[in-house]
Structure 1
């Protein structure tokens, strides 16, 4: 049953509140557009964007002269420009592409050559002994490595939250629980959603895993088909971090960047992802055998990791398509833009994709008046790179002892301009329940504090559904 139509006429309706959709909402709001961000889930990052390796890429291994490379570089540059003003983390770890065989070692020079052609200058071929000087924990069987100084680690959840929070401060609307049912164009768009009809002059499809479906529901012939690619991850306890100060990358193949061992901004170590094709766009299961293989692989790379306990395991889906390239289309005659097939580099390229969407929109002939004042937005820091709330006075009780999350942080998240819509959103905004006990000790307290405020109650047996 359709809900009551929304009376406003928006300049731009963006479908999908993943990292790309949030970045696009911010970019159009900064330009002065009246923006609505439409999401079928209860919160931002309900789809592919909630699970990734949190690397801010340089684009050293992106396809040469590709749009993907251009947008990674643009997105990275903008992130570096704005992260301090938004209070976003940046861990300047650098990366080592490690060759564990003579065959892989022979490929490093070609990777370096491609990286330099892609405009990445901070590259250095290292012998095994030199590589271990920068990271002593690497296994003795290392043959050679290529150092990529500019690869960094960020907080993958606070960044899109900051983008949308700034958009909302500029007047954008975030419409949750609004799955697109169909769209019709007649001088402007009428979008029928499960949360009412929305009218907009232009539409941007940033629907990730449902990008092809959304194009069809807008009345277009889908130019691509989403082929979900599952990635499983293992998160090790914080004791692992002293052994992994840098991102460790394998020599990539034609289909995947391979298994990465890297630190996180939260003090853990991540191993993954796998690359498994599947048809299901919703469920991303974790398999014990695969996780054991990841742990074994991590210990082969950094032997000290063999003795570190596991904090968490998870799996995510990437919106791969039948082609490796981004699938971006503009339809000026209907004022529609599709940002499809944005895979593992989406976190790095999101701000660049938003800039690109703005350029494509300029061809539609619609102009906006930029706001005279940009409101200052600063999201809470959840990382080990900056001061945490528990280190400040009068924070109230510690609700989550594993991650040292305070009552003040929980209350602030619930009262924020973009509050969490479900428990997953609360976890991503505060890290409550993400530590070693995975919420065993704090979930009851969180349930009491958020009673009646989340789409799904955090009662016994409910939290696993988020």
Structure 2
């Protein structure tokens, strides 16, 4: 059996900064969902994140679609987790004040070759327990989406696809964990660890964490964490960049559905989709690269995205571009989720969670809980857990500026109030960085991209993000 590296770094005098039943490495959407689930099931948890805030890695850049799983690998763990995650999100989103907008999706065929794949897609959807897929003619499509290019041939409609808020969702998950007794450590990269046969002592840049079980949800660095702590990893992260182009809010009237391409074996392809914040976006590209932090964009790929969007909706030619950005997906050499466990060392790895991770995160959390139950853990579920309500950022629900007493409008493009900004820096899960504050409020994300409001935002946040922020109630 491989042994952990650097275990001589520990001694009987090691200072322990947190103790918990379960340590969760990584503050992306999967880590936050696991933290929530295990807390509600009665475990004490500590989430360990190397960044200054949650969503510092792959989870912050995605298309924010709640998927039915119609095209997931049949019978796979991904399919199971997507289905379970989808169903649980529909059960809990109202209680957490998470927005949900039913748009449906159209798998659009623009060529005879693409149409030829429809029979397989319809069969796969049925095999995946998604029975409401329907084939639409060109006429039916244009009645539903009159602004689509007239060269559209046919489409499959997926009625139960939704758009959601990709940033408030993991925030709500972790906030519920924290308000029910959990703990989170930031600026705390895990460097190595030692298992003594009963529990783990993890070495982080902030100090040492002791836990009986460890769940590796480190995303783009999941293989590195396994190699550092366990001494080996059976998969390799191969970062895949996805660039996006975001159109101005004036584009929203041109599109009501998510427009999906006919997928390939390698990628789901370029999607044209409305956002919960009132924009329309196109992306992502699928660019394999070596850099795990390189979220740069380039003119050539952005122009190609823009051209594809205009081909599908010609009227977008008159709509300004609000922003461009990129996300990085933790792809591996295998297409499947890389979920594994080392039962002899109380370690579970959730790796290679790519484009379906936002939907499947709650399902993955359920799966982790089941694996722990199989190991004989005996947590006592909370009887009356606290259910926090996160602020609404979606355009299809009332915003803060519509209620009196908000103070001033700091970001006029996105109508963000100083009351929202001050609230985001307080509470059980305060923003740990300017980037985290933006994701909690949408400040600087509008037409001017912060040109007019950045100075005022700097005044309101002066001195707030200089120190490490730890939150929650774990035993320290």
8 A Cα contact 2:52 2:186, kept in partner? yes
TM-score (norm 1): 0.96
Q: 2:246: which partner in 1? A: 235
Residues in 2 aligned to 1:414 and 1:178: alpha-carbon distance in whole angstroms: 20
Aligned to 2:280: 269
Partner of 2:97: 87
1:34 counterpart = 2:44: yes
Any conservation in 1 of the 2:19–2:211 contact (CA below 8 Å)? yes
2:328 to 317, 334, 354: 317
Q: Residue deviations 1:185-243, cap 9 Å, x none?
A: 00210000001100000000000000101111222420100000000001100000000
SS in 2 for 1:91: strand
What is the 5 A alignment of 1:392-407?
392-407=403-418
Following TM superposition, the consecutive aligned residue runs of length 4 or more in structure 1 with deviations greater than 4 angstroms are 1-4
Q: 1:362 aligns with which of 363, 373, 387?
A: 373
CA distance in 2, matches of 1:444, 1:454: 16
- Deviation of residue 8 (structure 1)? 4.0
How far apart are residue 312 of structure 1 and its match? 0.5
The answer to whether the aligner puts 1:73 opposite 2:96 as a matched pair is: no
Residues 1:166 and 2:176 aligned together? yes
Kept in 2: contact 1:47–1:209 (CA 8 A) = yes
Distance 2:101 2:425 in 1: 27
- C-alpha distance in structure 1 between counterparts of 2:432 and 2:202, whole Å: 22
Contact 1:69 1:118 in 2 (8 A): yes
Partner of 1:340: 351
Take 1:9 and 1:288, find their aligned partners in 2: how far apart are those partners? 48
Query: Corresponding residue for 2:236?
Result: 225
Partner of 2:385: 374
Q: Deviations over 1:38-89 (max 9, x none)?
A: 0000000000000000010000111111110010000000000000000001
Asked if the contact 1:42/1:455 (under 8 Å) is kept, the reply is no
Whether the 8 Å CA contact 2:103–2:256 is kept in 1: the answer is yes
CA distance in 2, matches of 1:314, 1:48: 13
Which residue is equivalent to 2:134? 124
Give the superposition deviation at 1:7.
4.5
How many residue pairs are counted as aligned between the two chains? 457
SS in 1 for 2:16: coil
Pair 1:292 & 2:303 matched: yes
* Residue equivalent to 1:134: 144
CA RMSD of aligned residues (A): 1.5
2:56 corresponds to = 46
1:453 aligns with 2:457: no
Partner residue in 2 for 1:461: none
- Give unpaired runs (5+ residues) of structure 2: 1-8, 469-476
Quick check: 1:423–1:456 contact (8 Å CA) kept in 2?
Answer: no
Deviation at 1:25, TM superposition (A): 0.2
C-alpha distance in structure 2 between counterparts of 1:182 and 1:41, whole Å: 17
Once the two structures are TM-superposed, the CA of residue 363 in structure 1 deviates from its matched residue by 2.4
Q: Distance in 2 between matches of 1:118 and 1:369?
A: 33
Give TM-score, length-normalised by structure 2: 0.94
Matched, 1:203 2:206: no
Q: Deviations over 1:370-409 (max 9, x none)?
A: 2232112100000011100000011110000000000100
Matching of residue 246 in structure 1 with residue 247 in structure 2: no
Which structure has the higher relative contact order (CA within 8 Å, separation 6+)? 2
CA contact (8 A) 1:4 1:195 kept: no
